[in-house]
Structure 1
């Protein structure tokens, strides 16, 4: 199978089931932004090579599960309304995020101020991924009724919270400095 097909050379692409749409279609923006978020997570995780801390293996396992689910969320966004979604997001995936957020958050100092995205390279990368997920969420919201499974919006909302806590968790375990917002600037 070739990587290039030339079928998109005139600015169109295919959704799942073959429907052709413009590459700037809102649905394409939504699933493309999920792909961008997934790549951002992968880049952030690449900064953990050679790093070691108690719990790193579990952290990487959780993050790879998140990447897999996010890939499926993108596929769900790429499926036209009224068509069968082969893999469908379930509420239990949102519950998993919340459980993990609570577990990692217990290990962190309570926030008293806003923090700036910073610290360890992996942490800064997770903050970047968080902002990309927020953009994917905005696109998913804009799809409105065209989005068959509204849990996608909830998942993306919770995922951005998850990535915020994950970034803080990495900073704590790898000595990354959290920079608090200076309200007087």
Structure 2
């Protein structure tokens, strides 16, 4: 159980932080950057959820929980030592990726195919979902870069890749099932 009764600890004042396995690293390390960007994604999702209702609101809540799982996964390096850990480390699973894929397929089933790229906008919720999409893409890039340096759970990277697709399709749903999408007009102002 997690208990947070003291918010500041002063242990990071020298520019270091502790990972999930207790190892201290620089706050600018790629691992901290990756899971920090996942946290940023989660904050953007929280903002979008304020506009969402019904199934969309529920799905965004599930995604926020998944993003905490993902942050916990990324903050614990050395997957090989998971078996020796005092508590079983939390890892993103292929089942979470498959759930996103199923949700994308369900949302996309009734949308008309796009014949142009869309501009991030339309409704307020669609614009916020596009922000979620772009921040999650950045989290994916950071995680992919981290994976070139250290071990990263492959399911975590897949999850981030599918998540940005989920946000894109959800933005179309939020734009009256794509009818209110704002289409890009190449060279319109040239």
Do they superpose with TM above 0.5?
Answer: yes
Please state how far the C-alpha of 1:42 moved relative to its aligned partner.
0.6
CA distance in 2, matches of 1:8, 1:176: 49
Partner of 2:145: 142
Partner of 1:63: 60
CA distance in 1, matches of 2:151, 2:38: 15
| CA RMSD across the alignment | 1.7
Partner of 2:24: 20
SS at match of 2:176: helix
What TM-score do the two structures reach when normalised by structure 1? 0.89
CA distance in 2, matches of 1:73, 1:115: 29
What is the number of residues matched between the two proteins? 177
Contact 2:72 2:91 survives alignment (8 Å)? no
Matches within 5 A, 1:54-133: 56-81=53-78, 82-84=80-82, 86-133=89-136
Which runs of 5 or more residues in structure 2 are unaligned?
A: 83-87
SS at match of 1:21: strand
CA distance in 2, matches of 1:118, 1:147: 37
SS at match of 1:127: helix
Deviation per CA, 1:40-75: give whole Å up to 9, x if none.
Answer: 011011123xxxxxxx42222211111101110111
Partner of 1:5: 9
* Distance change (3 Å), C-alpha of 1:83 and 1:120: farther
Q: Which moved further from structure 2: 33-42 or 149-158?
A: 149-158
Contact 1:120 1:176 survives alignment (8 Å)? no
Contact 1:130 1:159 survives alignment (8 Å)? yes
Which runs of 5 or more residues in structure 1 are unaligned?
A: 49-55
Deviation per CA, 1:90-113: give whole Å up to 9, x if none.
Answer: 111111111111111112221110
Residue 162 (structure 1) aligned with residue 166 (structure 2): yes
Please state how far the C-alpha of 1:136 moved relative to its aligned partner.
0.8
Contact 2:104 2:166 survives alignment (8 Å)? yes
CA distance in 1, matches of 2:44, 2:136: 10
SS at match of 2:17: strand
